[in-house]
Amino acid sequence: MKKNLKNLTLAAMFIAIGLVLPLLTGQIPQLGNMLLPMHIPVFLCGLICGWQYGAAVGFILPLLRYAIFGMPVLFPTGAAMSFELMTYGLVAGLLYGLSRWQCVIALYRSMIAAMIAGRVVWGIVQMILLGVSGSGFTFRMFMAGAFLNAIPGIIVQLVLIPAIMVALNRTGLVRFKKRQPAHQANGGV
């Protein structure tokens, strides 16, 4: 019960950060599209609170931000971002939680897998939404939106998120862990 309350509180904090962080780049939309400020709290939530919270925060954040600030535009950008960010939180949290050792290497593995999965999901949702509306979504549009325009944000995420997790580990707020084999966890039985 205590852990659930802690995770729920942290998830609410990550939603608040995700609402406010894009305001730093909001005056220049191209900068926000390159730095991807909403992605950072979603990744952190998945890594710290677990995949369930990361997925929920990722899905809710763009929709809530649209309801409050009118950005990102709901169709198709906000809807596609909801599924993309949900995938980031889910995959990063799940892979990191299942890692035998929760360390910087596991962080990078989890984040890179989540980034690829999230961008694929974003592309699929964009293709469906734009197809329904009668617009096209080409492979060139996918590559530009998912990877080429996002390179600065990907670099920021790959530097900042592990640095935050290392700092949290050093302060004792979030510890890197080594999972015990099942027979040791059950008292050697």
State pLDDT tens for residues 71-95.
Answer: 888 888 899 999 999 999 999 999 9
Q: How far apart are CA 76 and CA 82, in angstroms?
A: 10
Average pLDDT over residues 176-188: 60
Could you tell me what percent of the chain has a pLDDT over 90? Answer: 56
Average pLDDT, rounded, for the chain: 87
Domain with residues 37-176, CATH architecture: Orthogonal Bundle (1.10)
Residues 76-87 as b or e (16 or more Cβ within 10 Å = b)? bbbbbbbbbbbb
Report whether pLDDT(30) > 80: no
Q: Where are the domains of the chain?
A: 37-176
CA atoms within 13 A on the CB side of 122: 25
Model-level pTM? 0.87
